């Protein structure tokens, strides 16, 4: 399995956080994705206004035992809107290849929380694996909607606002008391990424391909110090 990564380069030192929503269109047209807004959507998602945000987008539980639940990992959800929101996690079920009743392997508490404007709520995520010698990787989704729209009868159809959603990846494995964990087999499309010239205040983009040739998930991250 291979995954393309969009890497961005910023010219000059005068670009602050306030400039991010207003990127120049001519700078966006250098990428292979279609449309002038493709790159902002690639980096900022479908909600560039950041109505909600999470402090952790990846939870790695590492090696755990199926005989006991792991320690909870906190995820803070922040409400950046001017209205009260209700947030909750959507947790998928895991289908055992050996059969059995599908069941979730990650648990989230509380089930939902109301978040006042400018405030945050903390959810706790636990890993509860049912089998030994298995890698688990799932995408949990944080859903948030206006509390005033908890029921479609409370608002006219023309004023209904769709909920927001953010992904949180959760991984873990149960190789603790079984055979050793398989070594990752990851390949990069290029050992060096070179960016073309960029004018101050604008951005250029390059693509790096990460290919996983193994039969288990492989996690990776970019060190902030290495990126300058």
What pLDDT tens digit does each residue of the chain (228 aa) get?
655 555 555 554 333 333 333 333 333 333 444 555 555 555 555 565 678 999 999 999 988 888 877 889 999 999 998 989 999 999 999 998 888 889 999 999 999 999 999 999 999 999 999 888 888 889 999 999 888 887 777 777 777 777 888 999 999 888 875 555 566 788 989 888 888 888 898 888 888 899 988 877 777 777 776 555
Q: 73 near 61, Cβ under 8 Å? A: yes
Place of tokens 């400018």: 118
pTM: 0.65
Enter the DSSP assignment of 218.
Answer: -
**Alpha carbon distance, N-terminus to C-terminus of the chain:** 29
Q: The tokens of 54 are what? A: 């999470």
Cβ atoms 195, 9 nearer than 8 A: yes
């Amino acid at each position: 399995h291979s995954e393309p990564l969009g890497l961005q380069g910023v010219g000059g030192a005068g670009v602050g956080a306030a400039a991010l929503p207003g990127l120049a269109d001519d700078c966006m047209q250098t990428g292979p994705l279609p449309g002038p807004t493709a790159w902002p959507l690639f980096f900022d998602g479908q909600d560039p206004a950041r109505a909600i945000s999470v402090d952790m987008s990846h939870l790695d539980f590492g090696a755990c035992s199926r005989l006991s639940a792991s320690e909870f990992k906190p995820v803070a959800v922040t409400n950046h809107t001017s209205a009260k929101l209700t947030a909750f996690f959507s947790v998928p079920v895991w289908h055992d290849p050996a059969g059995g009743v599908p069941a979730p392997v990650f648990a989230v508490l509380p089930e939902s929380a109301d978040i006042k404007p400018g405030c945050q709520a903390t959810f706790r995520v636990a890993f509860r694996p049912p089998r030994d010698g298995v890698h688990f990787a799932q995408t949990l989704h944080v859903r948030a909607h206006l509390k005033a729209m908890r029921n479609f009868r409370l608002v006219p159809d023309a004023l209904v606002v769709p909920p927001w959603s953010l992904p949180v990846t959760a991984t873990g494995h149960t190789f603790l008391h079984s055979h050793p964990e398989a070594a990752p087999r990851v390949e990069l499309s290029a050992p060096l990424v070179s960016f073309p010239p960029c004018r101050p205040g604008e951005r250029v983009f390059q693509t790096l391909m990460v290919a996983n040739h193994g039969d288990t998930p492989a996690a990776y991250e970019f060190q902030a110090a290495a990126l300058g």
